Amino acid sequence: MRVPEALVQSFKEDFEPILNDFLMNEGLLPEGESLQSKRFMTRSVAPHVKALSSLFNRTEGTQTDAIDEESYWTGSGSPKNRKLAYFLSFMPCNLFRVASVWAELNRLGFRWPFSPDQDFKGIEFGAGVASGACGIVAGERFAGIGLPASGNFALIEQNKSALDLGTKWLHHFSGQKLSVRPFHRRLNLRERWLPQAAPKFHLFVMSYFLNESGIAAEELVPSFLEAFEHHLEEEGLVIIVEPALRLQSRKLLEFRKALLAHPLVQSNRAGLRLLLPCLGHQACGALAKEDDWCHEEVSWWRPPYLRELDSMTGLDRKSLPFSYLVIQKTRKPLSEIFPGLGGPEVKRYRLVSPSHSLSKRTSEFFICGQDGKRRARIDLGILKAGSPEPDRGSILENTDLRGDPALSQIDSSEVVE
Ligand SMILES: C[S@@+](CC[C@H](N)C(=O)[O-])C[C@H]1O[C@@H](n2cnc3c(N)ncnc32)[C@H](O)[C@@H]1O
Protein backbone atom coordinates (compact mmCIF):
# COMPACT_ATOMS: atom_id res chain seq x y z
CA MET A 1 0.00 0.00 0.00
CA ARG A 2 1.42 3.38 -0.90
CA VAL A 3 1.01 5.92 1.88
CA PRO A 4 1.40 9.62 1.03
CA GLU A 5 4.70 11.09 2.15
CA ALA A 6 3.01 13.80 4.26
CA LEU A 7 1.36 11.12 6.40
CA VAL A 8 4.56 9.06 6.66
CA GLN A 9 6.58 12.10 7.69
CA SER A 10 4.07 13.43 10.18
CA PHE A 11 5.11 10.95 12.84
CA LYS A 12 8.83 11.62 12.51
CA GLU A 13 9.07 14.81 14.58
CA ASP A 14 5.64 16.36 15.01
CA PHE A 15 3.80 13.58 16.82
CA GLU A 16 5.98 13.15 19.90
CA PRO A 17 5.54 16.69 21.28
CA ILE A 18 1.75 16.41 20.92
CA LEU A 19 1.82 13.11 22.78
CA ASN A 20 4.20 14.41 25.42
CA ASP A 21 2.05 17.48 26.18
CA PHE A 22 -1.02 15.32 26.48
CA LEU A 23 0.58 12.76 28.79
CA MET A 24 2.06 15.47 31.00
CA ASN A 25 -1.37 17.09 31.34
CA GLU A 26 -2.86 13.74 32.27
CA GLY A 27 -0.17 13.15 34.90
CA LEU A 28 0.92 9.94 33.19
CA LEU A 29 4.57 10.96 32.87
CA PRO A 30 6.64 11.87 35.94
CA GLU A 31 8.49 14.64 34.10
CA GLY A 32 8.71 16.42 30.76
CA GLU A 33 11.75 14.41 29.68
CA SER A 34 10.40 10.98 30.61
CA LEU A 35 9.97 9.79 27.03
CA GLN A 36 13.68 10.38 26.49
CA SER A 37 14.68 8.81 29.83
CA LYS A 38 16.20 5.38 29.28
CA ARG A 39 15.73 4.54 32.94
CA PHE A 40 12.02 5.39 32.99
CA MET A 41 11.26 3.68 29.70
CA THR A 42 13.26 0.53 30.57
CA ARG A 43 11.77 0.14 34.03
CA SER A 44 8.24 1.43 33.76
CA VAL A 45 7.19 0.96 30.14
CA ALA A 46 9.21 -1.73 28.33
CA PRO A 47 8.20 -4.69 30.59
CA HIS A 48 4.50 -3.91 30.03
CA VAL A 49 5.04 -3.58 26.28
CA LYS A 50 6.62 -7.03 26.22
CA ALA A 51 3.79 -8.51 28.29
CA LEU A 52 1.13 -6.93 26.06
CA SER A 53 2.93 -8.07 22.94
CA SER A 54 2.96 -11.69 24.06
CA LEU A 55 -0.70 -11.38 25.03
CA PHE A 56 -1.61 -10.10 21.53
CA ASN A 57 0.53 -12.74 19.87
CA ARG A 58 -1.09 -15.35 22.11
CA THR A 59 2.34 -16.80 22.91
CA GLU A 60 0.48 -18.91 25.44
CA GLY A 61 -2.64 -20.54 24.05
CA THR A 62 -3.69 -20.14 20.43
CA GLN A 63 -3.98 -17.12 18.20
CA THR A 64 -7.76 -17.33 18.15
CA ASP A 65 -8.25 -17.30 21.90
CA ALA A 66 -10.34 -14.46 23.25
CA ILE A 67 -8.52 -11.81 25.31
CA ASP A 68 -10.12 -10.77 28.56
CA GLU A 69 -10.17 -7.23 29.86
CA GLU A 70 -8.36 -7.98 33.10
CA SER A 71 -5.21 -9.51 31.59
CA TYR A 72 -5.22 -6.65 29.18
CA TRP A 73 -5.59 -3.28 30.78
CA THR A 74 -4.62 -4.25 34.31
CA GLY A 75 -2.13 -7.10 34.06
CA SER A 76 0.33 -7.42 36.87
CA GLY A 77 2.17 -4.47 38.45
CA SER A 78 1.08 -0.87 37.89
CA PRO A 79 -2.19 -0.46 35.89
CA LYS A 80 -1.14 3.14 35.23
CA ASN A 81 2.07 2.05 33.51
CA ARG A 82 0.25 -0.77 31.73
CA LYS A 83 -2.09 1.77 30.16
CA LEU A 84 0.82 4.08 29.39
CA ALA A 85 2.68 1.20 27.70
CA TYR A 86 -0.30 0.46 25.43
CA PHE A 87 -0.70 4.14 24.70
CA LEU A 88 2.95 4.70 23.82
CA SER A 89 3.62 1.50 21.99
CA PHE A 90 0.45 0.17 20.31
CA MET A 91 -1.80 3.20 19.93
CA PRO A 92 0.40 5.10 17.41
CA CYS A 93 0.85 1.96 15.27
CA ASN A 94 -2.90 1.27 15.09
CA LEU A 95 -3.57 4.95 14.49
CA PHE A 96 -1.18 4.87 11.51
CA ARG A 97 -2.70 1.66 10.14
CA VAL A 98 -6.22 3.14 10.13
CA ALA A 99 -4.91 6.39 8.62
CA SER A 100 -3.27 4.33 5.84
CA VAL A 101 -6.58 2.68 4.98
CA TRP A 102 -8.17 6.14 4.77
CA ALA A 103 -5.29 7.19 2.49
CA GLU A 104 -6.02 4.20 0.23
CA LEU A 105 -9.61 5.41 -0.15
CA ASN A 106 -8.22 8.83 -1.04
CA ARG A 107 -5.78 7.33 -3.57
CA LEU A 108 -8.59 5.59 -5.43
CA GLY A 109 -10.65 8.77 -5.61
CA PHE A 110 -13.25 7.95 -2.94
CA ARG A 111 -15.14 11.04 -1.77
CA TRP A 112 -17.09 11.44 1.47
CA PRO A 113 -20.60 10.61 0.25
CA PHE A 114 -22.46 13.06 2.53
CA SER A 115 -22.89 16.80 2.49
CA PRO A 116 -19.75 18.70 3.58
CA ASP A 117 -22.02 20.96 5.64
CA GLN A 118 -23.43 18.12 7.69
CA ASP A 119 -21.58 17.17 10.89
CA PHE A 120 -20.38 13.59 10.63
CA LYS A 121 -21.23 10.89 13.13
CA GLY A 122 -18.64 8.18 13.70
CA ILE A 123 -18.41 5.32 16.16
CA GLU A 124 -15.42 3.23 17.22
CA PHE A 125 -16.26 -0.20 18.67
CA GLY A 126 -13.74 -1.54 21.21
CA ALA A 127 -12.12 1.87 21.13
CA GLY A 128 -9.56 1.37 23.89
CA VAL A 129 -7.64 4.66 23.76
CA ALA A 130 -9.36 5.76 20.51
CA SER A 131 -6.54 4.76 18.15
CA GLY A 132 -9.01 4.06 15.33
CA ALA A 133 -10.87 7.36 15.61
CA CYS A 134 -7.55 9.25 15.80
CA GLY A 135 -6.44 7.31 12.70
CA ILE A 136 -9.43 8.73 10.82
CA VAL A 137 -8.46 12.24 11.97
CA ALA A 138 -4.85 11.72 10.81
CA GLY A 139 -5.96 10.13 7.54
CA GLU A 140 -8.26 13.04 6.78
CA ARG A 141 -5.56 15.55 7.71
CA PHE A 142 -2.94 14.12 5.33
CA ALA A 143 -4.95 12.24 2.70
CA GLY A 144 -8.43 13.69 2.97
CA ILE A 145 -11.56 12.36 1.30
CA GLY A 146 -13.70 15.33 2.38
CA LEU A 147 -14.75 14.34 5.90
CA PRO A 148 -16.29 17.48 7.44
CA ALA A 149 -14.09 19.16 10.06
CA SER A 150 -16.86 19.12 12.59
CA GLY A 151 -18.51 16.01 13.84
CA ASN A 152 -18.88 13.58 16.64
CA PHE A 153 -17.25 10.31 17.56
CA ALA A 154 -18.92 7.84 19.91
CA LEU A 155 -16.44 5.52 21.59
CA ILE A 156 -17.59 2.18 22.97
CA GLU A 157 -15.22 0.44 25.34
CA GLN A 158 -15.50 -2.01 28.23
CA ASN A 159 -12.56 -0.60 30.21
CA LYS A 160 -13.42 2.69 31.92
CA SER A 161 -9.88 3.89 32.44
CA ALA A 162 -8.83 3.27 28.80
CA LEU A 163 -12.06 4.91 27.61
CA ASP A 164 -11.47 8.03 29.73
CA LEU A 165 -7.97 8.37 28.35
CA GLY A 166 -9.15 7.73 24.78
CA THR A 167 -11.89 10.35 25.06
CA LYS A 168 -9.42 13.03 26.13
CA TRP A 169 -6.79 11.91 23.60
CA LEU A 170 -9.18 12.07 20.65
CA HIS A 171 -10.26 15.52 21.74
CA HIS A 172 -6.62 16.64 22.07
CA PHE A 173 -5.39 14.98 18.84
CA SER A 174 -8.23 16.41 16.76
CA GLY A 175 -7.34 19.91 17.99
CA GLN A 176 -10.58 20.03 19.98
CA LYS A 177 -12.57 20.11 16.75
CA LEU A 178 -14.57 16.98 17.43
CA SER A 179 -17.06 16.27 20.12
CA VAL A 180 -16.50 12.88 21.70
CA ARG A 181 -19.09 10.75 23.48
CA PRO A 182 -17.78 7.87 25.58
CA PHE A 183 -19.93 4.81 26.27
CA HIS A 184 -18.61 2.53 28.95
CA ARG A 185 -20.10 -0.87 28.19
CA ARG A 186 -19.28 -4.40 27.22
CA LEU A 187 -20.74 -5.21 23.81
CA ASN A 188 -22.44 -8.54 23.33
CA LEU A 189 -21.42 -9.23 19.75
CA ARG A 190 -23.66 -12.30 19.52
CA GLU A 191 -26.70 -10.10 20.05
CA ARG A 192 -27.35 -6.40 19.53
CA TRP A 193 -24.22 -4.29 18.99
CA LEU A 194 -26.15 -1.12 19.79
CA PRO A 195 -29.35 -0.38 21.69
CA GLN A 196 -32.43 0.03 19.54
CA ALA A 197 -32.64 3.74 20.41
CA ALA A 198 -29.07 4.42 19.19
CA PRO A 199 -28.87 6.74 16.16
CA LYS A 200 -27.46 6.07 12.69
CA PHE A 201 -23.79 6.78 12.04
CA HIS A 202 -21.88 7.65 8.88
CA LEU A 203 -18.85 5.66 9.88
CA PHE A 204 -18.14 2.48 11.87
CA VAL A 205 -14.51 1.92 12.89
CA MET A 206 -13.02 -1.20 14.46
CA SER A 207 -9.31 -1.43 15.07
CA TYR A 208 -7.83 -4.63 16.52
CA PHE A 209 -11.17 -5.42 18.08
CA LEU A 210 -13.04 -8.26 16.37
CA ASN A 211 -10.30 -10.87 16.86
CA GLU A 212 -10.51 -10.47 20.62
CA SER A 213 -14.02 -11.82 20.88
CA GLY A 214 -13.38 -15.52 20.28
CA ILE A 215 -16.80 -15.65 18.51
CA ALA A 216 -17.07 -17.57 15.23
CA ALA A 217 -17.59 -15.54 12.03
CA GLU A 218 -21.00 -17.10 11.32
CA GLU A 219 -22.21 -15.92 14.71
CA LEU A 220 -20.84 -12.41 14.30
CA VAL A 221 -22.39 -11.76 10.91
CA PRO A 222 -26.15 -11.62 11.74
CA SER A 223 -25.63 -9.19 14.63
CA PHE A 224 -23.19 -7.12 12.54
CA LEU A 225 -25.78 -6.95 9.73
CA GLU A 226 -28.41 -5.87 12.22
CA ALA A 227 -26.20 -2.95 13.29
CA PHE A 228 -25.35 -2.26 9.64
CA GLU A 229 -29.04 -2.09 8.73
CA HIS A 230 -30.29 -0.02 11.65
CA HIS A 231 -27.33 2.11 12.70
CA LEU A 232 -25.36 2.90 9.55
CA GLU A 233 -26.59 5.61 7.19
CA GLU A 234 -27.14 4.81 3.50
CA GLU A 235 -23.70 5.31 1.84
CA GLY A 236 -21.98 4.95 5.23
CA LEU A 237 -18.60 3.26 5.62
CA VAL A 238 -17.28 0.44 7.80
CA ILE A 239 -13.53 0.22 8.38
CA ILE A 240 -12.14 -2.90 10.05
CA VAL A 241 -8.43 -3.28 10.80
CA GLU A 242 -7.13 -6.50 12.33
CA PRO A 243 -3.77 -8.14 13.05
CA ALA A 244 -1.75 -9.70 10.24
CA LEU A 245 -1.10 -12.93 12.16
CA ARG A 246 -2.21 -15.97 10.16
CA LEU A 247 -5.11 -17.17 12.32
CA GLN A 248 -6.41 -13.71 13.18
CA SER A 249 -6.20 -12.59 9.58
CA ARG A 250 -7.99 -15.76 8.47
CA LYS A 251 -10.68 -14.97 11.02
CA LEU A 252 -11.31 -11.68 9.21
CA LEU A 253 -11.38 -13.51 5.87
CA GLU A 254 -13.89 -15.98 7.35
CA PHE A 255 -15.97 -13.00 8.49
CA ARG A 256 -15.86 -11.65 4.91
CA LYS A 257 -16.89 -15.03 3.54
CA ALA A 258 -19.77 -15.46 5.99
CA LEU A 259 -20.91 -11.89 5.30
CA LEU A 260 -21.00 -12.42 1.53
CA ALA A 261 -22.81 -15.75 1.97
CA HIS A 262 -25.57 -14.25 4.14
CA PRO A 263 -29.00 -14.17 2.42
CA LEU A 264 -29.38 -10.42 3.04
CA VAL A 265 -26.13 -9.79 1.16
CA GLN A 266 -26.67 -12.48 -1.49
CA SER A 267 -30.06 -11.02 -2.36
CA ASN A 268 -28.61 -7.49 -2.21
CA ARG A 269 -31.27 -6.49 0.31
CA ALA A 270 -28.51 -5.29 2.66
CA GLY A 271 -27.08 -2.97 -0.02
CA LEU A 272 -23.61 -3.94 1.14
CA ARG A 273 -20.56 -3.49 -1.04
CA LEU A 274 -17.14 -4.75 -0.09
CA LEU A 275 -14.70 -2.12 -1.28
CA LEU A 276 -11.19 -2.87 0.01
CA PRO A 277 -8.85 -4.56 -0.29
CA CYS A 278 -10.60 -6.92 -2.72
CA LEU A 279 -12.46 -4.42 -4.96
CA GLY A 280 -15.23 -6.98 -5.36
CA HIS A 281 -17.23 -9.84 -3.91
CA GLN A 282 -15.21 -12.70 -5.39
CA ALA A 283 -14.40 -15.77 -3.30
CA CYS A 284 -11.32 -15.12 -1.19
CA GLY A 285 -8.16 -16.38 -2.90
CA ALA A 286 -6.27 -16.72 0.37
CA LEU A 287 -8.93 -18.86 2.09
CA ALA A 288 -8.64 -21.42 -0.68
CA LYS A 289 -5.53 -22.84 1.04
CA GLU A 290 -5.46 -23.76 4.70
CA ASP A 291 -2.10 -22.20 5.49
CA ASP A 292 -2.62 -18.96 3.57
CA TRP A 293 -3.81 -15.53 4.72
CA CYS A 294 -3.93 -11.93 3.48
CA HIS A 295 -2.29 -8.83 4.82
CA GLU A 296 -1.05 -5.38 3.90
CA GLU A 297 2.07 -3.64 5.12
CA VAL A 298 2.87 0.07 5.43
CA SER A 299 6.08 1.88 6.32
CA TRP A 300 6.41 5.03 8.36
CA TRP A 301 8.83 7.15 10.37
CA ARG A 302 8.38 6.07 13.95
CA PRO A 303 8.38 8.84 16.57
CA PRO A 304 11.91 8.91 18.10
CA TYR A 305 10.80 7.54 21.51
CA LEU A 306 9.14 4.58 19.76
CA ARG A 307 12.37 3.71 17.90
CA GLU A 308 14.12 3.58 21.28
CA LEU A 309 11.32 1.61 22.89
CA ASP A 310 11.40 -0.89 20.02
CA SER A 311 15.09 -1.48 20.55
CA MET A 312 14.47 -2.02 24.29
CA THR A 313 11.69 -4.53 23.70
CA GLY A 314 13.01 -6.27 20.59
CA LEU A 315 9.92 -5.25 18.63
CA ASP A 316 10.47 -3.75 15.23
CA ARG A 317 7.68 -1.49 14.04
CA LYS A 318 9.54 0.07 11.09
CA SER A 319 6.84 -1.40 8.95
CA LEU A 320 3.35 -2.20 10.12
CA PRO A 321 1.52 -5.27 8.83
CA PHE A 322 -2.25 -5.59 9.19
CA SER A 323 -5.34 -7.13 7.62
CA TYR A 324 -8.32 -4.96 6.73
CA LEU A 325 -11.74 -4.63 5.16
CA VAL A 326 -13.63 -1.56 4.02
CA ILE A 327 -17.35 -2.03 3.43
CA GLN A 328 -19.89 0.52 2.21
CA LYS A 329 -23.67 0.57 2.45
CA THR A 330 -24.33 1.49 -1.14
CA ARG A 331 -25.84 0.33 -4.40
CA LYS A 332 -23.48 2.39 -6.54
CA PRO A 333 -21.13 0.60 -8.94
CA LEU A 334 -17.46 0.37 -8.01
CA SER A 335 -16.43 2.64 -10.91
CA GLU A 336 -18.60 5.41 -9.45
CA ILE A 337 -17.26 4.85 -5.93
CA PHE A 338 -13.64 4.78 -7.09
CA PRO A 339 -13.28 7.15 -10.05
CA GLY A 340 -9.54 6.36 -9.94
CA LEU A 341 -10.32 2.88 -11.27
CA GLY A 342 -11.49 1.73 -14.69
CA GLY A 343 -14.98 0.40 -15.48
CA PRO A 344 -16.50 -3.04 -14.80
CA GLU A 345 -15.01 -4.54 -17.98
CA VAL A 346 -11.44 -3.92 -16.78
CA LYS A 347 -9.44 -6.99 -15.76
CA ARG A 348 -8.12 -6.03 -12.36
CA TYR A 349 -5.81 -7.63 -9.80
CA ARG A 350 -4.24 -6.59 -6.54
CA LEU A 351 -0.74 -7.63 -5.42
CA VAL A 352 -1.10 -9.54 -2.19
CA SER A 353 2.57 -10.28 -1.57
CA PRO A 354 5.83 -8.38 -1.88
CA SER A 355 7.36 -8.29 -5.33
CA HIS A 356 10.53 -10.38 -5.75
CA SER A 357 13.06 -9.40 -8.38
CA LEU A 358 14.13 -12.38 -10.44
CA SER A 359 16.36 -10.19 -12.58
CA LYS A 360 16.75 -6.51 -13.33
CA ARG A 361 13.68 -6.65 -15.57
CA THR A 362 11.60 -9.48 -14.18
CA SER A 363 9.55 -9.61 -10.98
CA GLU A 364 7.33 -12.24 -9.42
CA PHE A 365 4.47 -11.88 -6.92
CA PHE A 366 1.04 -13.16 -5.97
CA ILE A 367 -2.06 -11.40 -7.28
CA CYS A 368 -5.72 -11.72 -6.37
CA GLY A 369 -8.62 -10.95 -8.70
CA GLN A 370 -12.07 -12.11 -9.77
CA ASP A 371 -10.64 -15.51 -10.71
CA GLY A 372 -8.83 -16.12 -7.42
CA LYS A 373 -5.20 -15.96 -6.37
CA ARG A 374 -2.26 -16.75 -8.62
CA ARG A 375 1.50 -16.46 -8.79
CA ALA A 376 2.43 -14.07 -11.60
CA ARG A 377 5.54 -12.93 -13.38
CA ILE A 378 6.04 -9.64 -15.19
CA ASP A 379 8.65 -8.20 -17.49
CA LEU A 380 8.80 -4.65 -16.10
CA GLY A 381 9.56 -3.41 -19.61
CA ILE A 382 5.88 -3.88 -20.58
CA LEU A 383 4.81 -1.15 -18.16
CA LYS A 384 4.44 2.35 -19.57
CA ALA A 385 7.37 4.73 -19.07
CA GLY A 386 7.39 6.29 -15.60
CA SER A 387 4.99 3.73 -14.13
CA PRO A 388 5.59 2.81 -10.49
CA GLU A 389 6.90 -0.73 -10.05
CA PRO A 390 4.26 -3.08 -8.69
CA ASP A 391 4.56 -3.98 -5.01
CA ARG A 392 2.34 -5.31 -2.21
CA GLY A 393 -1.04 -3.57 -2.39
CA SER A 394 -0.58 -2.25 -5.96
CA ILE A 395 -3.56 -2.56 -8.26
CA LEU A 396 -3.01 -3.79 -11.82
CA GLU A 397 -5.60 -2.94 -14.47
CA ASN A 398 -6.08 -3.85 -18.12
CA THR A 399 -4.16 -6.99 -17.36
CA ASP A 400 -3.76 -9.78 -19.85
CA LEU A 401 -2.10 -12.90 -18.62
CA ARG A 402 -1.56 -16.47 -19.67
CA GLY A 403 -0.74 -19.64 -17.80
CA ASP A 404 -2.39 -21.26 -14.82
CA PRO A 405 -2.66 -20.03 -11.20
CA ALA A 406 0.56 -21.84 -10.26
CA LEU A 407 2.48 -19.45 -12.52
CA SER A 408 1.06 -16.94 -14.97
CA GLN A 409 2.87 -14.55 -17.27
CA ILE A 410 1.55 -11.00 -17.47
CA ASP A 411 1.59 -9.86 -21.09
CA SER A 412 0.17 -6.40 -20.59
CA SER A 413 -0.87 -4.36 -17.58
CA GLU A 414 -1.04 -0.90 -16.02
CA VAL A 415 -0.25 -0.07 -12.39
CA VAL A 416 -2.90 2.22 -10.86
CA GLU A 417 -1.10 5.26 -9.44
C1 LIG B 1 -6.56 -4.39 21.04
S2 LIG B 1 -7.60 -3.23 21.82
C3 LIG B 1 -7.77 -2.10 20.51
C4 LIG B 1 -8.07 -0.74 21.01
C5 LIG B 1 -8.08 0.32 19.92
N6 LIG B 1 -9.21 0.14 19.04
C7 LIG B 1 -6.79 0.30 19.19
O8 LIG B 1 -6.78 0.04 17.99
O9 LIG B 1 -5.76 0.57 19.81
C10 LIG B 1 -9.19 -3.95 21.88
C11 LIG B 1 -10.14 -3.18 22.78
O12 LIG B 1 -11.44 -3.71 22.66
C13 LIG B 1 -12.03 -3.72 23.96
N14 LIG B 1 -13.07 -4.76 23.93
C15 LIG B 1 -12.89 -6.07 23.65
N16 LIG B 1 -14.07 -6.71 23.68
C17 LIG B 1 -15.02 -5.78 23.99
C18 LIG B 1 -16.43 -5.82 24.15
N19 LIG B 1 -17.09 -6.95 24.00
N20 LIG B 1 -17.06 -4.68 24.46
C21 LIG B 1 -16.40 -3.51 24.60
N22 LIG B 1 -15.06 -3.41 24.45
C23 LIG B 1 -14.38 -4.53 24.15
C24 LIG B 1 -10.87 -4.06 24.88
O25 LIG B 1 -11.13 -3.69 26.22
C26 LIG B 1 -9.76 -3.25 24.24
O27 LIG B 1 -9.72 -1.96 24.75
Same domain, 47 and 196: yes
Question: What's the pLDDT at 69?
Answer: 65
CATH for 389: 2.40.50
Same domain, 331 and 364: no
Question: What's the pLDDT at 369?
Answer: 93
Question: Which parts of the chain have pLDDT scores under 70?
Answer: 58-71, 75-76
CATH for 90: 3.40.50.150
Among residues 337, 366, 382, the one where a domain terminates is 337
Same domain, 355 and 291: no
- Domain residues for 269? 5-337
Q: Which atom of ligand 1 is nearest to the CA of 206?
A: 6
Same domain, 382 and 259: no
Domain contains 344: no
The predicted-structure confidence for 184-239, as pLDDT tens digits, reads as follows: 999 999 999 999 999 999 999 999 999 888 899 999 999 999 999 999 999 999 99
Q: Is the pTM for the entire model greater than 0.75?
A: yes
Q: Does residue 182's CB lie within 6 angstroms of at least one atom of ligand 1?
A: no
Q: Does residue 174's CB lie within 6 angstroms of at least one atom of ligand 1?
A: no
Give the chain's domain count. 2
Domain contains 315: yes
Same domain, 16 and 91: yes
Residue to substitute in 212, 215, 224 for testing ligand 1 pocket (most ligand atoms within 8 angstroms of CB): 212
Residue nearest to atom 19 of ligand 1 (CA): 187
Question: What's the pLDDT at 75?
Answer: 66
Same domain, 324 and 370: no
Among residues 309, 337, 365, the one where a domain terminates is 337
Residue to substitute in 52, 188, 209, 322 for testing ligand 1 pocket (most ligand atoms within 8 angstroms of CB): 209
Domain contains 208: yes
- Specify which residues 182 forms β-bridges with: 155
Domain contains 111: yes
Q: How far apart are CA 223 and CA 373, in angstroms?
A: 30
Question: What's the pLDDT at 214?
Answer: 85
Same domain, 48 and 101: yes
